[in-house]
Structure 1
Amino acid sequence: MEILIKLSQFLLSLSLLIILHELGHFIPAKMFKTRVEKFYLFFDIKYSLLKKKIGETEYGIGWLPLGGYVKISGMIDESMDKEQMKLPPQPWEFRSKPAWQRLIIMLGGVTVNFILAFVIYIGMTFFYGDLYLNNSELKDGVVVSEIGEKLGFKTGDKILSIDGEKVIRFNDVHGKLFFAKNVVVDRDGAIKNIALPIDLINTVLGGKQRPLVHWREPFVVGQVPDSSANQTALKPKDVIKSLNGIETKYADQVISFAQENKNKTLQAVVLRNEKEIPVNIVINEDGKLGVFVASLDIESLEKLGLYKFSKLEYGFFESFSVGIEKGKEQIEGYGKQLKAIFNPKTGAYKGVGGFAAIYNIFPKTWSWEAFWNITALLSIMLGVMNLLPIPALDGGHVMFLIYEMVTRRKPSDKFMENAQMVGFVLLIALLLFANGNDIYKAIFHK
């Protein structure tokens, strides 16, 4: 069922983005009286799952879900229709239109992508508002992953600033750390500067991809295996409050205490059904309790008195400025990611993912908030990627059109065909690399 939910969200998001992107080309083409021969969701190599011709355009759904396309008459595109290009230009063809009209047609797709992202962020701002945790709420600091410790962080650190910018909302920390050079923390009252390596992204990708730092949570019992020595002592949803009379407010304290008391029986107090109950728990020879650890939702964390989350709600008109600002921040953030990917020193290229990576970012349970947030981000990614000056992408066509408008010299059809072929080779290589990364991570990073 979880697979079906993830797959449904993935296909719905992908289909929405493809259809709207291609509509961005289709609408201006029709406005300028340019013939559109095909409008397809997914690729119809050899055959289509569904097709219907309305007027001069064939609308359909292909069987290969790697994208979609509109086939515009008189244009050298992915169809590589050389026979059509050998015939004299016709008034309804793309090649017969003024350069400025062709430029608008080619920019239509990415324009829709960016507009869609901004519309989604505006809508989400209005309907969901902003839920966040103030950095000041982390009075006992953060919990640090193994990779975070190797970088110089310690559990209990209070993050003060990242690259000179004071941290106000803790929610912003994770994304900013990837591209940070210096982090200032408060460690037991002493100010420490932590210099981060340029290949931080590669370092994180080499691990289990857990957050470097996170807010500290209590030790909540999840599943208790039948083989566990604590099978009768502990129950799912128990919260361990103390061990041997010592308060264990957070899971990292419980884990550390257990490591120091291997093969021992400890007196514990657990919170069960809102009541504190004393129990005896056994620590095994590995220094573990033999149970799975669960996480608490925001409401439960607040109920335990650990944190107070803040929520901002916005009026309809106020949502426009806030939503647009969120869209701009996401575009800037993705721009930084691309810059890191093209810099071999960062090792970020190793994190480039294909369709499996996109599929995996969707949650296992249906959430419209998560769906729209991911779709907005994917729309920005699709828009930015299509603007890259690579032949076969919209950005490649735009690059040649701008050259034509500046020099008033149109590249020959033969040149455009060769450029398109080079672009295809580059795109196929990128596709193989990205999806190859997915396969590699699935095999070796389990």
Structure 2
Amino acid sequence: MEFVIKISQFLLSLSLLIVLHELGHFIPAKLFKTRVEKFYLFFDVKFSLFKKKIGDTVYGIGWLPLGGYVKISGMIDESMDKEQMAQPPQPWEFRSKPAWQRLIIMLGGVTVNFLLAILIYIGMSYYYGDRILPIENISDGILVESTVANNAGLLTGDHIISVDGELIDHFSQISEKVLFGKEITIERNGVESTVTLPEDFLAQLIDSKEKKFIDLRMPFVIAEVPDTSFNKGSGIVKGDIITGFNNQETKYIDEVLPALESLKGQQVEATILRDNKRIQMPLEINADGKLGLVYATGATPETLEALGYYKFETQNYGFFEAIPVGIVKSKDKLSSYITQVKAIFTPSTGAYKGVGGFKAIYDIFPDFWSWQVFWNITAFLSIMLGFLNLLPIPALDGGHVMFLLYEMVSGRKPSDKFLEYAQMVGFILLIALVLFANGNDIFKAIFN
């Protein structure tokens, strides 16, 4: 069932983005009376799952879910229709239209991608608002669960003040800023200092195969008391929070686990928080430093607030207030993605090792259904799709735009033969990138 939920979200998001992106090309093409021969969701290699011709256009669904396309008459694209291009130009063809119209048609897809992301972020801001944890409300610092980050100088309990001189305002900014940062200003035990991350910090994280990085410090909440537990008769119950042993406070999980290790084989007097009251209870710790209990590693913001661990802030927006908020979120996400792409194309960072394909995109969807999470991921993917399509690579929208701008500035149109060769080179490059990204997925699936 979890697989069905994840794959449903993945396919729905991908289909929505593809259809809207291609509509961005389709609508201006129709407005400029340019014939569109095909409009396809997914690729119809050899056969289609569905197709129907309406007017001059065949609308269909292919069987290969790696994208989609519109085939515009008189345009050198991935179809490489040399036969059509060998005929005299027709007034309804792309190549017969003025350069400014062709430019609008080619920019239509990425324009829709960016507008879609803005609209989603506006809608989410209006409907859900924002729930944030201001950095000043984290009294005991952050949890650093990565040995790579520990070796670089970041420790549990540190307060992150700024990254590369940019102040951190709330907790959700920390992980991403640190991942792509160079100098981290921290406060530890009341003393401010700077941690300089190694240039290959990202590569070290990827190579370490560690699943955790930076998180909130959480209380040790009892999720289950198994019938087989040697502490079954102690009186401890689901929902209890262990906050100390032998009058020594252990407020967080990262304090409880080392304490258990140091007290293994002993009976201890545990301090339990139950219904906002503290009670004392004897518990056994076995020779392995275990309690024989199942504990939870996370809690909801509401639970954390009720326990007094953190104080979150909720920001609600009216419709018109949500508009600039959505625009700023889109800008920040685009800026963040550009930073990631720069790191990927800087070999010394090793970020290219983390590049993923369709499996990586599939993995970011949760195994439960949440419209808020779905729309948030879809908005980011829309920005990613828009930016990647703008890259000046032949076979991408950005490649076509590059040649059109050259034509508009120089007054000379590149020859069809040149565009054919450029399209072939771009297509080979794209195939190589797709194989690399999805090959990374396969490599990680096998060796991780």
TM band (smaller chain): over 0.9
SS at match of 2:26: helix
Identical-residue share of aligned pairs (%): 62
Contact 1:159/1:183 (<8 A) preserved: yes
Give 1:15's aligned amino acid. S
Gaps of at least 5 residues in structure 2 are: none
Distance 1:301 1:404, change over 3 A: same
Q: Which residue of 2 aligns with 1:270?
A: 272
- 1:84 Cα deviation after fit: 1.1
Q: Which residue of 1 aligns with 2:219?
A: 218
Q: Which residue of 2 aligns with 1:367?
A: 370
Q: Which residue of 2 aligns with 1:80?
A: 80
Distance 1:426 1:235, change over 3 A: farther
Contact 1:174/1:211 (<8 A) preserved: no
Distance 1:126 1:421, change over 3 A: same
Match status 1:443 vs 2:441:
no
- Of 179-188 and 381-390, the range deviating more from structure 2: 179-188
Match status 1:343 vs 2:346:
yes
Deviations 1:222-273 (A, max 9, x none): 3556665445555443321221222211111101111222333333233456
Contact 2:276/2:307 (<8 A) preserved: no
Q: Which residue of 1 aligns with 2:201?
A: 200
SS at match of 2:208: coil
- 1:113 Cα deviation after fit: 0.3
Give 2:253's aligned amino acid. A
Of the three residues 412, 419, 430, the one matched with 1:427 is: 430
Give 2:8's aligned amino acid. S
SS at match of 2:264: coil
CA distance in 2, matches of 1:273, 1:232: 20
Give 1:240's aligned amino acid. I
- Of 220-229 and 263-272, the range deviating more from structure 2: 220-229
Give 2:394's aligned amino acid. P
Distance 1:359 1:283, change over 3 A: same
Contact 1:49/1:60 (<8 A) preserved: yes
Q: Which residue of 2 aligns with 1:245?
A: 247
CA distance in 1, matches of 2:259, 2:340: 39
CA distance in 2, matches of 1:293, 1:282: 16
CA distance in 2, matches of 1:235, 1:435: 46
- 1:308 Cα deviation after fit: 0.9
CA distance in 2, matches of 1:437, 1:255: 35
Give 2:393's aligned amino acid. I
CA distance in 1, matches of 2:415, 2:166: 51
Q: Which residue of 2 aligns with 1:396?
A: 399
Q: Which residue of 2 aligns with 1:38?
A: 38
CA distance in 1, matches of 2:292, 2:3: 28
SS at match of 1:206: helix
Structure 1 runs of 4+ with >6 Å offset: none
Give 2:442's aligned amino acid. I
Deviations 1:352-371 (A, max 9, x none): 11111111111121111111
CA distance in 2, matches of 1:283, 1:36: 72
CA distance in 2, matches of 1:265, 1:147: 35
CA distance in 1, matches of 2:350, 2:400: 30
CA distance in 2, matches of 1:84, 1:349: 40
Give 2:139's aligned amino acid. K
Equivalenced residues, count:
445
- 1:129 Cα deviation after fit: 1.2
SS at match of 2:76: coil
SS at match of 1:222: strand
Q: Which residue of 1 aligns with 2:189?
A: 188
Match status 1:306 vs 2:319:
no
- 1:284 Cα deviation after fit: 3.9
CA distance in 1, matches of 2:431, 2:53: 30
- Of 203-212 and 413-422, the range deviating more from structure 2: 203-212
Give 2:83's aligned amino acid. E
Q: Which residue of 1 aligns with 2:116?
A: 116
Give 2:169's aligned amino acid. I
- Of 407-416 and 332-341, the range deviating more from structure 2: 407-416
Deviations 1:266-316 (A, max 9, x none): 332334566655444343444344544321111111111111100111111
CA distance in 1, matches of 2:329, 2:45: 39
Distance 1:192 1:90, change over 3 A: same
Contact 1:10/1:362 (<8 A) preserved: yes
Deviations 1:78-130 (A, max 9, x none): 11111111111111111111111111111100010001111111111111111
Give 2:52's aligned amino acid. K
- 1:185 Cα deviation after fit: 1.5
Alignment RMSD: 1.8
Distance 1:349 1:231, change over 3 A: farther
Q: Which residue of 2 aligns with 1:255?
A: 257
Contact 1:37/1:57 (<8 A) preserved: yes
Match status 1:155 vs 2:156:
yes
- Of 363-372 and 59-68, the range deviating more from structure 2: 363-372
Give 1:166's aligned amino acid. L
Counterparts of 1:172-187 in structure 2, within 5 Å, are 172-187=173-188
- Of 228-237 and 424-433, the range deviating more from structure 2: 228-237
- 1:71 Cα deviation after fit: 0.5
Distance 1:21 1:279, change over 3 A: same
Counterparts of 1:276-287 in structure 2, within 5 Å, are 276=278, 278-287=280-289
Deviations 1:416-446 (A, max 9, x none): 121111111111111111111112222222x
Distance 1:432 1:285, change over 3 A: farther
Contact 1:223/1:236 (<8 A) preserved: yes
CA distance in 1, matches of 2:238, 2:60: 51
- 1:182 Cα deviation after fit: 1.1
Give 1:218's aligned amino acid. P
CA distance in 2, matches of 1:209, 1:87: 58
- Of 176-185 and 205-214, the range deviating more from structure 2: 205-214
SS at match of 1:266: strand
What TM-score do the two structures reach when normalised by structure 2?
0.94
